[in-house]
Structure 1
Amino acid sequence: MKEKITDAKQREKYGKIGSVAAILCNVALAAGKIVAGALTGAISVLADGLNNLADCGSGTVALVSFRMAAKPADKEHPFGHQRVEYVASMLVAFLILVVAFELAKESVGKIISPVAAEFSYLALGVLAASVMVKCGMFFFARTLGKRIDSDVLLALSKDSLSDCVATAVVIASLLVAEFTGFNPDGYAGALVALFVALSGVGILKDTMSKLIGQAVAPELIEEIKARIFAHEEVLGVHDISVYSFGPNKFYASVHIELDASVDVMASHELVDEIEQEFARETNVSLTGHLDPIVVNDPAVVELRKKFGDLVRGLDENYCMHDFRTVIGPHRTNVIFEVAVPFDCKKTDGEIKAEICRAVQETDGGVYTPVVHVERQ
């Protein structure tokens, strides 16, 4: 598989190529189907042509979005403009849904008051060619969309795929009418409208999820961890938060655990070096937080392991970090954070109580746990 393109200028270039190709193909298909539909009186053929005409608008939206998304960050938009592509995908989805509504309305009228459509090999040929062209557009837009990680091109590819299925239904409708005498034109048009609507809803759902704040791919989290752990001084990482501000535009924060006995300036310099490495070599703008870890005190090390094992024993998905102790005359406070998955059904309060009970049963009140639960 070819490497993804992350350079802004290259993404704009390939995005424009994909958008212009979609516009030109849809103009040609719309013209052919509308003419064929008008000559034969087949509402399903005409409806399919109108759908392609709307797809021209979708391609235009995509073309404009790539130009806007490539604009650099400014005072009003300090994180850049790449989320414009998400907005463009939503516009594409709305255009598709409008077309689906109009097609459904026309088809219902055709079902109520059917009109015989003249069978035409011209219409059949235009539709068959359309299926092949749309299949090619689907593979082209999907391949290019994945290569540049573009939601709007992937939306166009899904639309092309639904058009392939919809046009195949229209072809079947014409053949049924010719060889059986039953005219399913209105029903076929309604089925086309259904396929178009499902495509629009799917695109809208995917895009809204990303605008709301969809979690990044787990592979990106693992890549961030691997890069940080490549520095042998790093003892651990936690509290990784990654935010997407558009395709290939990520901001991340992470807590980096380093030996507390090392000079703080040297540790700070290492964190700076890691941040700069991410800036040079990745599309992730990383902010690192230094967490000093005591490794030379056997008692603290033993307690950290003991409580870490205790927490994991309650649930293998629990992860303890930021462990420290405050020793008093009669008891020792053990302070730590526990990361739990978002899908954990227990409340934070229930998890805290569970851990405190386990500590009490194990040590009989010698240690007082101060627990902070965080979801990730």
Structure 2
Amino acid sequence: MSGTALHYFSGGNTARGYFSLFDSNFTGLEKVFILKGGPGTEKSILMKNIAKDWQEKGYDVELVHCSSDSDSLDGVIFPTLKIGIVDGTEPHVIEPKAPGAIEEYVNLGDAWDSLQLSAKKDEIIQLIKERKEAYDKAYQTYAEALAVHDEWEKIYITNMDFEKLNKVTEQLKTTFFGEIFLNKQANIQHRFLGAATPKGAVDYVPNLTENIRKRYFLKGRPGSGKSTLLKKLASVALNRGFDVEIYHCGFDPNSLDMVILRELDIAIFDSTAPHEYFPDREGDEIVDLYKLAIVPGTDEKYEEQIKKISTRYRNKMNEGTSCLAEAKKSNDKLEGIYQKAVDFTIIVDIQKKIETTLVEFTKETNVD
């Protein structure tokens, strides 16, 4: 029987620049393979192949997707084995905690024909420059979009009944936890709910909540307290010893979009655009903070102002997406250059060596 696959992002192209949460997911593993090598060395394909092989053997896998190309992987984790494989190249550089003992560098650059790449040196340098400029422009544009979003939030914050919001939070706290305290240290993992990609916003909410019995869909407006509510519930869970998966906003990593409490079979998440979902199975429930905690008539009172702000925000977000698409074009050209200079038989040998190490490691740790 095949294992399950969990999909998520650990890095994001955000309004605060590239933001990494890799340490939260790769810390605590007993073995981590850090892949080094430029674009076109098939790091993602290598990880996909190994993940597929081991999932077919019955092992659960976590697939960490790339925010600059959601079809590619930045990492793979085998939670029961406590083994991970990660792309350790910029911008998600992984700093080893115990080099050799836990982390092992794998240099895919061994497969390059350096002379062939040297002949393309000027073109490579130019494409790297263009890619960086496109990313910088994307981050600047997203920062401008965040400033617009803050204007949007202010409307609802100034029309918030904080007493009612606190009441909703307390009701959910009681419903989730009751009087339960677990006698253990809570485990916390920080991830991204979704990511801004060259194709627009991408998320894996259906996959992440697939096996969750009770799902709460937070509805509302910008500034209606969704992130604040999630932070408070996460804090309570940690204080009571519950393991918590905290999913940050792919646009503003200082905000939260989802909290999953697998020990309680509960997920609660911001279910508004660009990750808007609706109940579709037993156990799903909507919590509408606009109806519960915002002064009635706020939408109507500020209708014209909100329309202008939302248009400015949408235009900035579309501009940022276009910048990411330009960065991907440059990266695709780089990959094309490197792929022509790579001996893929060496990449296959490297994959086999990693898999052999995985087999040996499972024997040493007596993992079936």
- Identify, as 1 or 2, the structure richer in strand: 2
- Identify, as 1 or 2, the structure richer in helix: 1
Higher relative contact order (CA 8 A, sep 6+): 2
